[in-house]
Chains A and B, each alone.
Chain A
Amino acid sequence: MRMNRRQFIKVSGLMTAGAIAPPVMLSGCQPRKLPGTGDVAQTPTVCDICFWKCAGTVYAEDGQPWKVVGNEADPHCTGRLCTRGTGGIGAYEDRDRLRQPLLRVTENGSQTFEPVSWDEALDFIASRMGEIGERHGKDRLALLAHGSGGTHFQRLLKAWGSHAYAHPSFAQCRGPREVAFALTYGEGVGSPDRTDMEHSRCVVLIGSHIGENLHNGQVQTFVDAINQDATLITVDPRFSVAAGKSRYWLPIKPGTDIALLLAWMNVLINEGLYDKDYVERHTIGFDRLTRHVQPFNPEWAYLETGLDPKLIRETARVMATSAPATLVHPGRHVTWYGDDTQRGRAIAILNALLGSWGRKGGFYAQEKVDLPAFPVPKPPKPKTDWKAIVQPEFPLSPSGVSQKVLEACVGPDAHLKGLFVYGTNLPYTIPNIRGTLEAVAESLDLFVAIDTLPAEVTGYADVILPECTYLERYDDLRNSPERVPSLALRMPAFEPRHETRPGWWIAKQLAGRLDLEEHFPWEDYSEVLDWQLKQVGSSLEEMRGIGVKRFPRKTPMYIPEGRDIKFRTRSGKIELYSGMLEQHGYDPLPKYTPPDKRPENFYHLNYGRGPAHSFGRTTNNPLLFELMPENAVWVNPRVANDWSLRNGDYVRLRNTDGATSNRVRVRITERTGPNAVFIVHGFGHTAKELRLTSGVGADDASLMNNVKVDPIMGGTGMRANFVTFVKET
């Protein structure tokens, strides 16, 4: 291929050389003129490649997309985007983007998608909604969304009378820790995570592969900690990037973290190293906790975790010396083994013993701008909402559980009749859900997928609506809680390509067809933003120039020293012992349950992030594909030897139920232990239309038949799966 091209260049060169002209007249190549010497346009944006929502500036030169860079004023990114954000232009340039609305039609027996006009697509949706409304009631639509644009459709469904939502960022991501911290402190960790790492003297990571996990603020504050010589303790069976930066790396046996956490509590309490004043003043249940942790000394933990008791003691003492500026990181993707809320509780309690919640170097109190919502009529009270679907089974779940919502779509007498999916690729996002999804598609009267790419989830839909990328649209102002309250503007840097449209426009068009106009009283979404900005003394005009505006804090960032305060728990105190859990029949204090045994010749299926990609949403992004075109399976040299695998070989992974992955490249490395293999999530796409990434690499989700559901909040534990190798011949 490249060879041929080279030959061609030679030949053509020969031709021209045949008629060589006098040097002066030569005009062979004109080397690119220096970047930035053309006419350059700048537009503020908020990155949507992941959910950290960094603010940046989009540059175009001579009308051509050029680059995206971070906004200096932005507390989320301090002027630096991450790898994926810098590659954002690729999302706009992706050749395989959805181009126009698609409608499922049956042509002589076989179903296909047919390109249709926006009117056709929207009319179809509106009429189906109408029918569902009449036949079953207006509360029978659901929304599964991930990403900023979801709000527009949430507004639409609310106005219509449906309140059944869920975000995969709960039951597939950080739900357990939010519930655990809410139970303990009365509030969750939130996003951006309220970790005060830049002031920490000691950071403890349980998993949390910051560095591969590129959540920007996390990376930057983690590096602050390194630069200030904070003591880093990383608990990870894999030699993660973070482990490589740490003073202490604890290569724990997978699934045994609660044992370690209990042992750490045991040491802190029995050696009297905990923050006595803090515990005395702010917590309840300390005595019960003390009794609870007695059996769990480091020697006991050694048998479970394989970690040297001396090391467990030493690290506990190090944590204590730096307390309260010791952060035991709550993690973010924590749906691991099904006992995740309990692990989250253990982490929360450990932090309480160290007195780090609400203290400098621990957890700070976030604050956002109180930004009035654009005045619209009050939506009707729905007959039922997500609680009806989720809380019978998970009474403590404070928000929708995606797989429950899907289950409620299955069958002739299913509660839900219509589903909107915005920006979440369900078959790759919820483990072991593909069967359910097919049933869902069978059962539903209406299945709408709103996406930018022909992602696998769109294949289940009746209608596919092509949204334009974040670089081509307005969305709500970013107003995330942070150290400094701030607002950030996303506005179109380019015209929407093809027939794509912004989410706000799609929602408004539907509203128009459902006579819900009064809930969308604007022509262009910029009116909403301008109105809101004016309420807080800014304006769209100003924001177009600066992109990010910071506002003064009104509340303290830390708990005032030596003063009692009221926590938002039932007791008003930090609940080391959770009455709430007890009342619902769960363990009021974290209990350790050993993980499933690893079968002979099988290995833990470990997965995580690669810095180059956001899940599966960027693997077809040309800029990022070029950086990391495929994922490799990490294999320990000893294991490779047993299986006589060589670097660069291709193998398939097969789990204990016989589910087999796509072929994946072997990377032999000491960075994974002999009991686990590791792959980066987001690969193994099957959608042919994703021409770059289709059929490349292995998909961890396809190997996750064994889902450990968290009995407290419905999280889908993904780490109890084992795989073996199938050699490619």
Chain B
Amino acid sequence: MQEVILATARHNAKVDPSLGIWTWEVSVYLFLGGLTAGIMCFAALMVLMRKDTVAPFATNRLALLAPIVLSLGMTTLFLDLEHKLYVFRFYTAFEVTSPMSWGAWILVAIYPISVLQILSTLRVGYPGMAGYAEKLPLFSGVLDLSERFRRPVAGVAIPFAVALGIYTGILLSAFSARPFWNTGVLGPLFLVSGLSTAAALVLLGAREAGEKHLFTRIDLGLIGVELMFVFLLLVNLGTGSGVQIDAAGLVLGGPYTLVFWVLFVTIGLLVPAVLETWEMKGGRALVYAAPILVLFGGYVLRHVTVEAGQFSTWTHYETQYDPALLERLQ
């Protein structure tokens, strides 16, 4: 028998018995971050592909959601900080080796770009709002200008959006100390998932049948790609080092198996895929079911990943004593 125990009681909050530093706040942030990336991508793509008529919502109205969604994400991220007053410290340094630092600065670039995207489509997308805004001095000038650069703005938006999308994955995959996260697949997987959820968002917002049809097709494709990355993720872990194989076990029979396969893969990917295919075949589906499930699946993916990653570890020591007793010291 091999017995490895802590001879001295150790119960560091959120570290023992297993890591529990990040919960819903971070999952939500990663989800909304990915969603934002998707939103900006599609908004830009539609502009570049001149889809004003086919996909009026995606082309001219979608962009407005980006900063809103992103800000929501930033809020939950802020909620997660333990030392909140020092949040400004993200912007008093740039740490090349720190994905989080990269993320912080990418966000700085994202906001203005996304604002430009909005301005360049505001008159068409939200005439009421535009008209109201134009009462402000100079504003119509600003709108003219940004509309002139509509396509260049879109061109710039795409790489940044993609960066943002991939970053949400890399943020986790950069942790060599957490086997479940430590795989290159996470970046692309999160990007694709982000795009897919954004497509779903379009399906919720779009009115024209044509636009719906287009994005259903897009989403189907994305779900396909996503399933492939999920497969790659498991292969990648399953063929990795000992600790990574253990990590893969977390969703292959381990504590996160149900959530992963039922909530994420089945309800979040397969079911919507089926519904969408059916719709493509002209079937009248319960209109919003598929997109809502996709969005749900997108969140579950982030949630499982964040949880399982923290559960996967290099070191695990059994404690000899009931940690609850230490509460008596408080």
- Touch test A–B (CB under 8 Å): yes
Chain A interface residues toward B at CB < 8 A: 1-2, 6, 9-10, 13-14, 16-17, 20, 23, 26, 28-29, 612, 622, 625-630, 632, 637, 647-648, 665, 667-670, 691-692, 696
Q: Is the CB of A626 within 8 A of B329?
A: yes
- Residue on A nearest B91 in the bound complex, by CB: A23
Q: Inside 8 A of A632's CB, which chain B residues have their CB?
A: 320-321
Instruction: Report which of B3, B5, B328 forms a contact with A670, defined as CB distance below 8 A.
Output: B3
Interface 1/0 per residue, B61-97 and A, CB below 8 Å: 0000000000000000011011111111000100000
Q: How far is the CA of A303 from the CA of B1 in the complex (A)?
A: 28
The answer on a CB contact under 8 Å between B329 and A28 is no
Q: How far is the CA of A630 from the CA of B326 in the complex (A)?
A: 10
Cα–Cα, bound, A627→B321 (Å): 10
Q: Using a Cβ cutoff of 8 Å, how many contacts connect chains A and B?
A: 72
Q: Which of B8, B81, B85, B325 contacts A630 (CB 8 A)?
A: B325
A48 to chain B, nearest CB (A): 23
Taken together as a complex, chains A and B put the C-alpha atoms of A571 and B29 apart, in Å, by 89
20 contacts between A and B (CB under 8 A): A1-B330, A2-B13, A2-B327, A6-B13, A13-B84, A17-B84, A20-B87, A20-B88, A28-B84, A28-B85, A29-B83, A627-B9, A628-B8, A629-B321, A632-B320, A632-B321, A648-B322, A668-B3, A669-B3, A692-B328
Q: A14-B79, A629-B9 are in contact. Are A622 and B329 (CB under 8 A)?
A: yes
Name the B residues within 8 Å of A16 (CB-CB).
84-85
Least CB distance, A15 to chain B, in whole angstroms: 10
Measured between beta carbons, the chain A residues less than 8 angstroms from B84 are: 13-14, 16-17, 28
- Is there an interface contact between A626 and B326, defined as CB atoms closer than 8 Å? yes
Given contacts A647-B318, A667-B320, A670-B1, contact A629 B326 (CB under 8 A): yes
Contacts of B1 in A (CB 8 A): 637, 670
Cα–Cα distance between A630 and B320 once the two chains are bound (Å): 9
Cβ–Cβ < 8 Å partners of A622 in chain B: 329
Chain B: minimal CB distance from A423 (Å):
25
A670 to B1 Cα, complex, angstroms: 7
Closest to A10 in B: B79
- Residue-wise interface mask of B (32-73) relative to A, using a CB-CB cutoff of 8 A (1 in contact, 0 not): 000000000000000000000000000000000000000000
State how many angstroms separate the Cβ of A671 from the closest Cβ of chain B: 8
Cβ contact within 8 Å between A665 and B321: yes
How far is it, in angstroms, between the C-alpha of A670 and the C-alpha of B9 when the chains are bound?
Answer: 20
Q: How far is the CA of A637 from the CA of B9 in the complex (A)?
A: 22
A707 to chain B, nearest CB (A): 30
Residue contact A1 to B327, C-beta cutoff 8 Å: yes
Do A13 and B329 touch (CB < 8 A)?
no
A10–B14 Cα distance when bound, in Å, is: 15
**A691, closest chain B residue (CB):** B328
**Chain A positions within 8 Å of B328 at CB level:** 625, 629, 691-692
The residues of B that contact A612 with a CB separation of less than 8 Å are: 8
| Residues on the B chain within 8 Å of A9, using CB | 82
Q: Give chain A residues whose Cβ lies under 8 Å from the Cβ of B3.
A: 668-670
Known: A626-B329, A628-B321. A28 touches B8 (CB 8 A): no
Q: Give the distance in Å from the alpha carbon of A20 to the alpha carbon of B88 in the complex.
A: 10
Contact call B325/A23, Cβ cutoff below 8 A: no
* Extra pairs beyond A9-B82, A647-B318 (6, CB < 8 Å): A10-B79, A13-B79, A13-B85, A26-B85, A28-B84, A628-B8
Complex Cα distance, B88 from A16, in Å, reads 13
Find chain A residues with CB under 8 A from B78 CB: 17
Q: Within residues 1 to 36 of chain B, which ones have a CB less than 8 A from any CB in chain A?
A: 1, 3, 5, 8-9, 13
The 6 closest A-B pairs by CB, nearest first: A28-B85, A13-B84, A629-B325, A23-B88, A629-B321, A692-B328
CA distance A23 to B330 in the complex (A): 33
Q: Given the known A-B contacts A10-B79, A14-B79, A23-B92, are A628 and B9 also in contact in the complex, defined by CB atoms under 8 Å?
A: yes
Contact with A along B204-238 (1 / 0, CB 8 A): 00000000000000000000000000000000000
Could you say which of B13, B86, B327 contacts A26, with CB atoms under 8 Å apart? B86
Minimum C-beta distance from B221 to chain A (A): 40
Q: Is the CB–CB distance between B8 and A627 below 8 Å?
A: yes
Q: How close is A523's CB to chain B, nearest CB, in angstroms?
A: 40
Contacts of B87 in A (CB 8 A): 17, 20
